[in-house]
C-alpha cells in the first residue's frame, strides 16, 4: 500500500531535523476581527526566503518558542511570494500567544506539510468556493492562485459567510473579488447588524439560492465543521457528485508529519494524506470521525 510519497518535500529541513523549526520574523499584522488576525512573515535566513516554495492548501507548524507549536494553513498564495501569511483565531494557549506578538517578533516555522489543492484537476473547470468564517484562510491561497492565472480556469463563484458582519475576515480580499468582473462574489452573514445592507442567511442556504451549475464544476469548501456538514448535502442536492467536492479538514495536530498519531481519520492522516480531501474519500470511509 503506497503511502503518499512526499519525500521531495524534505528539502526544507532545518539541519536535517524535520522537527527543528526555521526562524521567521513577523513583518505585518492585520487584525481581521476581534478574535482573528493575519500575520505576514518572512524567514530570517536569506537563502530560505529565496528558495522556499509551497502549494495552495499546505500548512505549516508555527512555533511560539516556550509556549508551543500549532498548525495553520499558509493563507497567502504561492503566486505572491514577497512574504508569507497565516491567519490565527484566538482559542487556546498557542493562538493566544500569537495574538500577543508584535511586528518584529520571531516565530518558528516547519513545513510546508500536507497535500495541496490539485490544480491540474481544477484547470479548465468552473470553480465554486464555499467558505465560512476563518475557513476562508486556506481557500484564499487558492483563490488568489487561480485569479493570478485567470485564463486557466472557467467561472469562479465565491460564496462566503460569517456569523455577523464583524466576523467577516479578509475584508480587503472580499472587496477586491467583488470588484473583479471575472468573479461572482456572494457575501452573507448569519445575522446582520444595524449597518448591514447585504445578504442574510446561512452559507448552505445561500449556496442553494445561488445554485451554481454542476457541469464541469468543482466545489471547494472550508469552514467550521458544522458548516461543512450541512454544505455537502446542499451541494449534493444541487447535483454535485462526491468527487466534485473538495474540502480541507482541520484536526488537532502536533508533529504535522504523520508520526504522532493524533490526526487520523481511519488510516488516513490529515497532516500527511490531507488536509485536502474529496468528499468521496471521507464519505466512503469513516464518516463519523471528521
For the bound state, the minimum distance from the C-beta of residue 142 to other proteins, rounded and expressed in Å, comes to 23
Whether omega before 217 lies within 30 degrees of 0, making that bond cis, reads no
Cβ pair 231, 221 in contact under 8 A: yes
Cβ proximity to other proteins, 65 vs 172, nearer residue: 65
Q: Is 274 in the site for other proteins (CB under 8 A)?
A: no
Q: Radius of gyration of the chain from Cα atoms?
A: 18
Cβ proximity to other proteins, 195 vs 261, nearer residue: 261
Cβ pair 276, 116 in contact under 8 A: yes
For the bound state, the minimum distance from the C-beta of residue 43 to other proteins, rounded and expressed in Å, comes to 13
Buried/exposed code over 247-267 (b: 16+ C-beta within 10 A; e: otherwise): bbbbbebbbbbbeeeebbbee
The residue behind cell 469562479 is 156
Interface with other proteins (CB under 8 A), residue from 11, 34, 46, 66:
66
For the bound state, the minimum distance from the C-beta of residue 111 to other proteins, rounded and expressed in Å, comes to 11
Q: Which three cell numbers stand for residue 107?
A: 516565530
With a CB cutoff of 8 Å and minimum separation 6, the contacts of 35 are: 89, 90
Q: Is 280 in the site for other proteins (CB under 8 A)?
A: no
Cβ proximity to other proteins, 27 vs 208, nearer residue: 27
For the bound state, the minimum distance from the C-beta of residue 189 to other proteins, rounded and expressed in Å, comes to 19
Cβ proximity to other proteins, 118 vs 224, nearer residue: 224
Interface with other proteins (CB under 8 A), residue from 132, 135, 165, 258:
258
Q: Is 17 in the site for other proteins (CB under 8 A)?
A: yes
For the bound state, the minimum distance from the C-beta of residue 31 to other proteins, rounded and expressed in Å, comes to 19
DSSP 102-156: -TT-EEEEEEEES----HHHHTTSEEEEEEEGGGHHHHHHHHHHHHTTGGG---E
With a CB cutoff of 8 Å and minimum separation 6, the contacts of 171 are: 32
Cβ proximity to other proteins, 147 vs 257, nearer residue: 257
Cβ proximity to other proteins, 182 vs 287, nearer residue: 287
Q: Is 16 in the site for other proteins (CB under 8 A)?
A: yes
Interface with other proteins (CB under 8 A), residue from 166, 211, 213, 260:
260
Measured from the Cβ of residue 22, the count of other Cβ atoms closer than 10 Å reads 21
Interface with other proteins (CB under 8 A), residue from 79, 96, 152, 182:
96
Interface with other proteins (CB under 8 A), residue from 52, 146, 272, 278:
272
CA 152 to chain centre: 21
Cβ pair 140, 62 in contact under 8 A: no
Q: Is 65 in the site for other proteins (CB under 8 A)?
A: yes
Q: Is 254 in the site for other proteins (CB under 8 A)?
A: yes
3-class SS of residue 66: coil
Q: Specify the DSSP class assigned to residue 74.
A: B
Closest CA to 130 of 56, 188, 58: 188
Binding site for other proteins (CB under 8 A): 1, 3-7, 10, 14-21, 23, 63-69, 91-93, 95-96, 104-106, 108, 224-225, 250-252, 254-255, 257-264, 266-267, 272, 286-290
Amino acid at each position: 500500500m503506497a503511502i503518499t510519497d512526499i519525500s521531495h518535500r524534505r528539502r526544507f529541513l532545518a539541519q536535517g531535523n524535520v522537527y527543528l523549526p526555521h526562524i521567521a520574523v513577523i513583518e505585518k499584522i492585520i487584525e481581521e476581527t476581534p478574535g482573528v488576525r493575519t500575520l505576514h512573515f518572512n524567514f530570517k535566513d536569506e537563502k530560505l526566503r529565496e528558495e522556499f516554495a509551497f502549494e495552495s492548501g499546505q500548512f505549516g507548524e508555527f512555533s511560539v518558542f516556550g509556549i508551543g507549536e500549532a498548525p495553520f494553513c499558509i493563507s497567502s498564495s504561492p503566486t505572491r511570494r514577497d512574504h508569507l501569511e497565516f491567519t490565527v483565531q484566538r482559542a487556546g494557549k498557542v493562538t493566544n500567544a500569537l495574538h500577543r506578538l508584535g511586528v518584529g517578533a520571531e516565530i518558528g516555522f516547519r513545513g510546508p506539510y500536507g497535500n495541496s489543492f490539485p490544480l491540474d484537476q481544477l484547470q479548465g473547470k468552473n470553480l465554486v468556493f464555499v467558505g465560512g468564517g476563518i475557513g476562508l484562510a486556506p481557500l484564499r491561497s487558492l483563490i488568489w492562485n487561480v485569479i493570478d492565472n485567470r485564463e486557466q480556469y472557467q467561472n469562479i463563484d465565491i460564496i462566503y459567510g460569517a456569523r455577523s458582519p464583524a466576523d467577516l475576515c479578509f475584508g480587503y480580499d472580499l472587496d477586491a473579488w467583488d470588484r473583479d468582473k471575472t468573479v461572482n462574489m456572494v457575501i452573507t452573514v448569519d445575522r446582520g447588524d444595524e449597518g448591514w445592507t447585504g445578504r442574510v442567511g446561512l452559507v448552505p442556504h445561500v449556496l442553494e439560492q445561488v445554485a451554481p451549475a454542476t457541469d464541469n464544476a468543482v466545489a471547494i469548501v472550508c469552514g467550521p465543521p458544522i458548516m461543512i456538514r450541512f454544505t455537502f448535502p446542499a451541494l449534493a442536492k444541487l447535483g454535485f457528485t462526491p468527487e466534485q467536492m473538495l474540502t480541507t479538514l482541520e484536526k488537532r495536530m502536533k508533529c504535522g508529519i504523520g508520526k504522532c498519531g493524533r490526526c487520523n481519520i481511519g488510516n488516513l492522516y490529515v497532516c500527511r494524506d490531507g488536509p485536502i480531501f474529496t468528499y468521496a474519500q471521507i464519505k466512503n470511509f469513516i464518516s463519523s470521525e471528521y
